[in-house]
Structure 1
């Protein structure tokens, strides 16, 4: 299902949701630019499938494409990921704060032996049944 959104953050996360698209971006990370055929070379999918992935990345603004003759070159544009990182950082701060509060609580509250759950040795044994479990033989 193709999902088109006008929200740049939605488009960025939708583009990053696919492992093939993330791998394409990773390939572009270390290069100034690569041709479409160079990008497609290590993937076990057809060139038209790679072109569809590149369309999604381009629509999200994560890559730019330039055509010179018959060669289409792709270049990474990481700027849209900055907004996604800011959105994720907000939740990272929330969880870091919550986990810090939990750690402080655990460290300040000593657990006395009577508050701890009893060990299996301390528990009272269950009384023995008069007959073994299972069907009772007929007489």
Structure 2
């Protein structure tokens, strides 16, 4: 949870923004033929906005939250569609992929990490779609967050 008296509220706001303003356009992009260019532009603006708000290693500082897990799934979707994302978001995705729970989830779902292969496009880092398997990472968000919250035993 983000620090401060409004930390929980800020976290809930980001979750709401991701689920309504980022996830919904992605779903329409997956299944709609007519408005693809408009949806890509909308998503690019919204992802840039999120990237500019990151406050450290993750969205809300150094602590991993549910919003980071949900954003990571959205970044995987962007890569599946060949969309470029900012260096800030690519870095955030790479930091999420450093987590043991994320590596375990990707292995379980037979998915390659986004950082496995990248290309530079107009100064932005783009995860090459060829590096991704055809499977969607929809359930990854839940598995990543749940696995990261489990207590570690020595």
TM-score (norm: length of structure 1): 0.29
Q: Which is strand-richer, 1 or 2?
A: 1
Larger radius of gyration: 1
Q: Which is helix-richer, 1 or 2?
A: 2
TM-score (norm: length of structure 2): 0.27
